[in-house]
Amino acid sequence: MFGEIFGAWIAVFLTLAIFSFLYKDNPFYKIAEHLFVGISAGYWMSMFFWTQIQPNLFGRLWPSEHYTDGIWYGIYNFFGMISSSVFPSGGIDKGHDIHMIYLIPFALGIMMLLSLFKKLSWMARWGIAYTVGMAAGLRAYGYLNSNVIGQLKGTIIPLANSDLPLFSLLGASHFNNIILLVGTITGLLYFFFSKEHTGNFGKVTRVGVYFLMISFGASFGFAVMGRISLLIGRFVELITYSSAQYHHATLWLLVIMVALLGYSAIIDKKNPEPDN
Amino acid sequence: MNDRDFIIGAGGISISFLIYWFIGHPYFITERIVMFAAIMLFSGTLLFFIRKARRGEEIFLRDIPGLKAVEEAVGRSTEMGKPVLFVPGIQDMDQVETVAGVIVLGHVSKMTARYETTLNVPVSRAIVMKAAQEACKESYLMEGRPDMFHDDMVHYLTDEQFAFAAGVNGIMVREKPAACLYMGKFYAESLILAETGNSIGAIQIAGTASQAQIPFFVTACDYTLIGEEFFAASAYLSQKPELIGGIKGQDMIKLIVIAVLLIGVVLRFFHDSGVIDFSIINFLTVK
């Protein structure tokens, strides 16, 4: 029970500390910010290691399934002497088969780490080059398929479909299809860079801008609604923690923080900082 | 490679492919012919215009206000004696937007080196940090100011999205940069960053292709490079013929796409009316 109450107080303090940024940058916000940045950096590093590097890299280089007394597992046993939790005895059992091809990412990872040494820091470029090149090649096909061919397919509208109504506010209709086609073409033309947007061409691209702005507006509204639901989530939690079960954590911390910020504001007013 | 070699090479490859096709094209997945054709057509168009630009042919590119404003923003920071903040998004180097962001960073760091303005680049991925450091280092070297470059100008904060946003907000309110540039892939933190930048009175320029985040940047920033404008930025800033040729090539690809779209609508109309058997939708379906 103590742990739950303590956790609630911490959660309320950090939530209110982050909210206090709405007033101005202050020590409460700084505490929350530094804790958040520091803890998350450490947490993600640990997460990446235990969910990616250890099972997916080491687990494929030294799987328990193929454990033998040879040189390869001799190296593994040597690593095991350094850290038995990362390299448990008998190989890593994550359900993978042995894949020596993973020596390449292993080497690239080591090369990234070598950037810590100034003379060898150039080696990190290989890792970066591999990442960028691999991603470009891998995604080119996917993007072409989904963003070009798929988009084309979706925009080639059926004009001869007699089942579709001429106009419908909610469902598919010929009118909506024509809007889709015009919006796609004018939107594409807006991103035409090698011609000045003047004259008739300018008028067409202006229609494209209107389509883009309408879609941005809709997207903005949709995202704001999502954010409001997140805010409501935080408020619900703050209200829950303001109950007697949690010793009125929200109320106490709110009063203390407001009092301290108010006091700090009075002090600042008496001793104003010179402008930069 | 000169034109003659290029034509011989391209012709050789085309003839080899035709021979391969007529002998039965083993291992070729014919259901994906549309992808093959698209890759060939688009690559060929791009190559054609890149070579054209390299030959020195004049290629016109219209002005993009957001890009002109980048130099103004750095100049403003210089006049005010305040730093420039550059955020290359929150994703890794496997995202094309991050790559584009780092390329723009290279140009921005050239400007900051030229004007002797402080540059601050917080990043959320280790590989991006290294790539951004390399880009800045090269720019400072090229501008003849290696003494001004230091590794810490590009610094890692955290991988966690909102912790990164909180950290960048802290930097903004404490260092009060005169210019904030957000160029890369962003998610929900975009409005948090842009609102804070707005509150400190910084000139803000954003560039992203993250569709859901563009509205937030449009609302809170002075200039926003939307979608492809952002990818075109490096060509505009560098004025390298091969990049400008690429932009022209992409424009031609857009025209091809529009043409296919209109022809496709007509073909579908005829197919749905029973005039022809060929279904454009089936043809475009990659299996």
Q: What is the pLDDT of residues A28-81, one digit of tens each?
A: 999 999 999 999 999 999 999 999 999 999 999 999 988 888 899 999 999 999
Q: What is the DSSP letter of B119?
A: E
Question: Which pLDDT score, from 0 to 100, does residue B150 have?
Answer: 93
Do the Cβ atoms of B177 and B205 come closer than 8 Å? no
**A92 has which bridge partners?**
A63
Instruction: Give yes or no: residues B95 and B208 share one domain.
Output: yes
| Selected residue of A37, A110, A141, A186 to mutate for chain B interface (largest B Cβ count, 10 A) | A37
- Provide the residue type at B53 as one letter: A
User: Which of A37, A148, A194 is nearest residue B163 as measured by Cβ atoms?
Assistant: A37
Q: Same structural domain for residues B154 and B36?
A: no
Cβ within 8 Å of residue B209, ≥6 positions away: B96, B97, B185, B226, B227, B228, B230, B231
The closest CB to that of A193, out of B232, B265, B268, belongs to B232
A115–B160 C-beta distance less than 8 A: no
What sign results for the dihedral spanned by CA atoms B233, B236, B240, B245?
A: positive
B220: Cβ–Cβ under 8 A, 6 or more apart, which residues? B191, B194, B195, B197, B198, B204
**Are residues B81 and B181 both part of a single domain?**
yes
Structure token pair of residue B6: 């290029």
Residue of B29, B130, B211 to mutate, testing the A interface (most A Cβ within 10 Å of its Cβ): B130
pLDDT for A275 beyond 60: no
Residues B129, B214, single domain; the answer is yes
pLDDT tens-digit profile of B199-223? 999 999 999 998 889 999 999 999 9
pLDDT tens for each residue of A75-109: 999 999 999 999 999 999 998 999 999 999 999 99
Mean pLDDT of all residues belonging to chain B: 93
Which domain range does residue B19 map to?
Answer: 3-58+240-284
- Average pLDDT of the residues in B91-119: 94
pLDDT at B49: 92
Q: Are residues B16 and B129 in the same domain?
A: no
Helix (H, G, I), strand (E, B), or coil: what is residue B236? helix
Query: Which residue in B90, B96, B103 sits closest to B138, CA to CA?
Result: B103
* Statement to judge: residues B156 and B259 lie in one domain: no
State the average pLDDT for chain A: 92
Residues B201 and B187 in one domain: yes
| First and final C-alpha spacing in chain B | 37
Helices B228-238 & B241-272, crossing angle to 10 degrees?
A: 150
pTM for the whole thing?
A: 0.89
Reply yes or no on whether the pLDDT at A248 is more than 70.
Answer: yes
Q: Are B42 and A153 within 8 A, CB to CB?
A: no
Contact across the interface for B248 and A145, Cβ inside 8 Å: no
> Stretch B252-269: mean pLDDT, rounded?
96
Residue with tokens 């003849």: B144
Domain count, chain B: 2
B7 touches chain A (CB under 8 A): no
Same domain? B96 vs B197: yes
ipTM of the complex model: 0.88
Give the distance, in angstroms, between the CA of residue A192 and the centroid of all CA atoms in the same chain.
31
Do both B117 and B212 map to the same domain? yes
Mark whether B158 and B253 lie in a shared domain: no
Q: Are residues B52 and B71 in the same domain?
A: no
Asked if B280 and B231 sit in the same domain, the reply is no
B26 CB burial (10 A radius; 0-12, 13-18, 19+): exposed
Report the chain B residue with the minimal C-alpha distance to residue A34. B167
User: Would the CA dihedral through B49, B50, B56, B58 be positive or negative?
Assistant: positive
